[in-house]
């Protein structure tokens, strides 16, 4: 079965994404974390699940499967790997955005997070 790909893109100020960084926060620095829980609503086990990010914003964003060890994989080959997910089960992706102090305010940076998996 071929790989299927979905794309999750941060959309400013919606219910699942981090809010915009204000100019004051960019100057002071800001660390924000949130999670996205994904449910397997299908009838097959999802395996070889991986997540990685667009390399242009990986400097600011890291991802984790346990909310402890964060990394910034920037390719499919280097993807963060998740355990198999049975039908009806879920897995969680934790996302941390770190804006260093004295960062120039730029309101239009978006982070693309990619997923891959196999169904069996």
> Rounded to two decimals, what is the model's pTM?
0.77
∠ CA(37), CA(119), CA(114), 5° rounding? 50
For domain 4-119, the CATH architecture is Sandwich (2.60)
Taking the C-alpha atoms of residue 81 and residue 84, their distance in angstroms, rounded to an integer, is 9
Predicted pLDDT of residue 12: 46
Predicted pLDDT of residue 65: 94
* Boundaries of every domain in the chain: 4-119
Dihedrals phi, psi of 84, to nearest 5 degrees: -55, 150
Q: CA 106 from chain center: how many Å?
A: 20
Q: Which residues, in sequence order, are bridge partners of residue 90?
A: 39
Please list the pLDDT of the chain residue by residue as tens digits (120 residues).
444 445 444 444 444 556 667 788 878 888 888 888 888 888 889 999 999 987 766 678 899 999 999 999 999 999 999 999 999 999 999 999 888 888 877 666 667 788 888 877
């Amino acid at each position: 079965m071929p790989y299927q790909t979905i794309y999750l893109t941060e959309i400013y100020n919606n219910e699942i994404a981090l809010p915009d960084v204000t100019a004051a926060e960019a100057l002071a620095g800001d660390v924000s974390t949130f999670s996205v829980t994904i449910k397997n609503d299908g009838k097959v086990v999802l395996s070889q699940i991986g997540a990685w990010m667009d390399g242009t914003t990986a400097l600011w964003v890291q991802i984790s499967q346990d909310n402890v060890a964060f990394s910034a994989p920037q390719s499919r080959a280097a993807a963060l790997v998740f355990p198999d997910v049975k039908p009806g089960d879920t897995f969680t992706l934790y996302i941390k955005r770190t804006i260093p102090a004295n960062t120039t305010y730029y309101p239009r940076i978006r982070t693309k997070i990619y997923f891959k998996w196999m169904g069996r």
